[in-house]
Amino acid sequence: MKKYLLIISYLLFSISCFAQNKIQNLEKAFNNLLADEQAKHAIVSLCVLDANSGKVLFAKNDQIGLATASTLKTITAASAFSILGKDFQFQTTLAYSGNITADGTLKGNLIIIGSGDPTLGSWRFQNKENAVLSQWVAAIKASGIKKIEGSIIGDDRIFGTQTTPEGWVWQDIGNYYGAGTSGLAWRENQFDIHLRPGSSTTATVTVVKTVPSTPYIQIKNELKTGASGTGDRSYAFLPPYSNLAYLRGSWGMGIGKSSISVALPDPAFDCAYRLQDTLKRLGVETSQLATTARLMELNNLTIPAITQKINTITSPTLSEMTYWFLKKSINLYGETLLKTMALKSGQPGTTAKGAEAEINLWTSKGIDKSALNIIDGSGLSPGNRITTSAMGAILFQIQKEDWFSDFYKALPDYNGMKIKSGTINDVSAFAGYHTDAVGNKYIIVININNYSGSGINKKLFRVLDELK
């Protein structure tokens, strides 16, 4: 028995020494990063916790609030699980106002009532665009509607009229990753513009088509043909609710893709427009143009009362949405979840009220409120300021939750670790979990703001590699 106790003691001592050496090597690697020319004018923060006990193993600058980029999505996802529940689902309802005559004429309007579902019409889930439109057409036919003496209205009121958070950068708004929320989201609030470069850098870029067709949007093309190898340096400048897009930048010769993805300026309108277009092709005419609740209110028109609901589409669960939210870093999902948390908390569905609900949640669990300066739900705003200590503490706390396995599964795999990345201008960050070769479990949050040059992630990984 004494022999076994000695062996166990020796093994525990060896593991402890091994872990201590790792942290010492981690500190050396971190100091090397601080001394790197790329970090000369930067702030670098690192917080490493023992995932089992929450003990701080190494921390430097961990109390300084930094722009998070998409690592903020870890907090948004954890907050959504806590406030909404892992089985939460959105519902979109198709209804009509007025009445249906004996000959199948709807003397009223079709109304699509949105609840903010960011997955409606998304290619990632079962409720794809064609599937949704087919389901709606079937419900309309089953109701006996053959003609509509009215309009198709996209009811987008649930989130109000401000689609993008304050603090987002103009260069981002208008591009697919800068797509704002909508009370009636549609096809992840984006469409594609197909482009063809010229034969020389003096030639113009040709706009081939939009997919799907968006005849109601005018495209002003200012793109230049880039030299071979320069690829996609294009940006769309398309404000919310606008029908005029400017394309600026360059599109390189020999580029390996055919299109860019652009934010829909009015997803609720596009949704109503697609349903009207589909019905028209099937012989169901509508006497008035597609519209939205926002446009009707803007024109002092009364939004008609519902007579009958005829179809409800239910979204995937929050767990299913979170998988793609974290894996593919979909900003739209984060902003929608933030507003939905506000509604769940009994507040208006705004970004500010969602951030308030999120901050209140973690403050009630012992996180310092002043360490959580949250501007949006996705991290796209450079105005977010969160400490690596606070983010690490949240990642530690959530391990005991019944939804944690779904959260963990959704984290991407980078550098042999389960960590979420974050990148905006001159900001790079990673946050998540790692288990080393002998079974030690770590929580890792590393963040660098205002670095220079490129290729910084390789240098961040050299630091994290010391935990392998």
411-421, pLDDT tens digit by residue? 999 999 999 99
**pLDDT digits over 345-367, tens only?**
999 999 999 999 999 999 999 99
User: Tens digit of pLDDT for each residue in 155-167?
Assistant: 999 999 999 999 9
Residues of the chain with CATH 3.40.710.10: 25-86+319-467
**What mean pLDDT do residues 238-262 have?**
97
pLDDT band at 9 (very low <50, low <70, confident <90, very high): low
What would the pLDDT profile of 66-119 be if each residue is shown by its tens digit?
Answer: 999 999 999 999 999 999 999 999 999 999 999 999 999 999 999 999 999 999
CATH class of 25-86+319-467: alpha beta
pLDDT digits (tens, 9 = 90+) for 160-202: 999 999 999 999 999 999 999 999 999 999 999 999 999 999 9
User: For 267-304, how does the pLDDT look when each residue is reduced to its tens digit (9 = 90+)?
Assistant: 999 999 999 999 999 999 999 999 999 999 999 999 99
Q: What's the mean per-residue pLDDT of the chain? A: 95
Please say if the pLDDT value at position 13 is more than 70.
Answer: no
Which two structure tokens, joined as six digits, stand for 444?
């890792």
Confidence of residue 21 (pLDDT cuts 50, 70, 90): confident
Answer yes or no: are the C-beta atoms of 179 and 332 closer than 8 Å.
Answer: yes
| Strand order from edge to edge, sheet including 441-449 | 56-60, 43-50, 441-449, 427-435, 417-424, 413-414
**Both ends of the chain: CA-CA distance in Å?**
33
User: 128 is written with which tokens?
Assistant: 């794809």
Q: How confident is the model at residue 20 (pLDDT cuts 50, 70, 90)?
A: confident
> Residue 63 pLDDT > 90, yes or no?
yes
> In the predicted model, is pLDDT for residue 434 greater than 90?
yes
Q: What would the two tokens of residue 295 be?
A: 């446009």
365 contacts: CB under 8 Å, gap ≥ 6 = 397
Tens of pLDDT, residues 310-319? 999 999 999 9
127-144 pLDDT, tens digit per residue, is 999 999 999 999 999 999
Q: How far is CA 176 from CA 149, 329, 376, 396, in A?
A: 35, 12, 17, 33
pLDDT value, residue 11: 47
Question: Span 198-218, mean pLDDT?
Answer: 95
Domain with CATH 3.50.80.20 in the chain: 91-161+266-315
- The predicted pLDDT at position 319 comes to 98
What is the percent of the chain with per-residue pLDDT over 90, rounded to a whole number? Answer: 95
Q: How many Cα atoms within 13 Å fall on the side-chain side of residue 143?
A: 27
| Whole-number pLDDT of residue 16 | 52
Residue-level pLDDT at 57: 97
pLDDT of residue 7 exceeding 90? no
Q: Which CATH number is 91-161+266-315 given? A: 3.50.80.20
**Mean per-residue pLDDT, 371-377:** 98
Strands 244-252 and 218-221: parallel
